[in-house]
Chain A
Amino acid sequence: MLSLLAATPALPLDEAGKYVAAAFIVFMVLLVVYVAIMAAKLQRIERELRELAGFAEQRKQEEQREEVSA
């Protein structure tokens, strides 16, 4: 299989290293970008939960006040 690549000269190590590094860096960057996007989603979930918790507490207080006044 590899003998089919008769026309490809092997690049010297310092040149080749840049391409290999670039490929692995692309992979890493994509992975980290994905994590960042998921982090943003997580932030939004946290914010909404906080808001809902406040809402629920508020409602509980109102119900207690109504019970007291009734």
Chain B
Amino acid sequence: MYGKGLRPLSIATVAMLALSLSLVFFYAPLDGDQGFIQKIFYLHVPLAIVALVGFVVGGVFAIAHLRTNNRKWDAYSYVAIHMSVIFGVAVLVTGSIWAKASWGHWWVWDEPTLVSFLIVFLMYATYYPFRYAIEDPERQARYASVFAITAGAFVPLNFMAVRMAQSLVHPRTFGTANGGLPGEMMLVFLCCLATMALLWVTLVKFELTAKSASGQVKRLRRALDAPTPGAASRIAPEVS
């Protein structure tokens, strides 16, 4: 039963969201250098951290799939990666807005975290055409798990490489590092981080529940010998 904890989870998420937004706009002190723009930081960075952790979690689920051969882990892996890709879109767009506000350009190659995130995002975006290209569903699940594991190993390596590629002559950063955050800002940041993590978990559960419901409908259909409507989705793994 996938929908079991969904109600308390979503209530908790909404509560945290309200709390975090209030903290960001009513409690957090105004940043000396960036001014009001800095508020985007509370949105952008937690989204990024949760997305990246989500990718790694997708890899962990993939390992579980390969070890147990239970297809439900493949579905978990798929949904985890799916959600992180969506969060990734939000990261890139909010990052771009922040860049425009801070630097006047919609995109800056100087910011290693943003560039590295773009590469990770591009890589996980290939997850869908990759799955689509493999017809046999069992093989597709297996290969997708291999992809998720390889990609999960890739994420930290990529961040390291991109960060190193930054020229030491022009150290321009957004100062996205958490080091040196004053206490109140840190509190608000952690609150936002927890909120985004909760949101991710809630939405993943939500999607798995919807998938499960579809799976039950298909199962019912088969039990009743009813005719099936069009072709099933080729890439989304089923949950039953």
Interface residues of A (CB under 8 A from B): 1-8, 10-11, 13, 16-17, 19-20, 22-24, 26-27, 30, 34, 38, 41-42, 45, 48-49, 51-52, 55-56, 59
Q: Which of A8, A27, A45, A55 contacts B43, CB < 8 Å?
A: A27
- Given the complex, which residues of A lie within 8 Å of B165, measured CB to CB? none
Q: Known pairs A20-B101, A48-B217; list 12 more (Cβ under 8 Å).
A: A2-B33, A3-B33, A11-B101, A16-B35, A16-B37, A20-B37, A22-B97, A24-B43, A30-B90, A48-B229, A52-B226, A55-B226
Interface size bracket, B side: 35 or more
Interface class of chain B by DSSP: helix
Of the listed stretches B112-120, B145-153, B155-163, B169-177, chain A binds: B169-177
Q: How far is the CA of A42 from the CA of B179 in the complex (A)?
A: 44
Q: Is the CB of B33 within 8 A of A5?
A: yes
- Given the complex, which residues of B lie within 8 Å of A4, measured CB to CB? 171-173, 175
Of the listed stretches B69-77, B125-133, B205-213, chain A binds: B205-213
Q: Which of B34, B89, B217, B226 contacts A2, CB < 8 Å?
A: B34
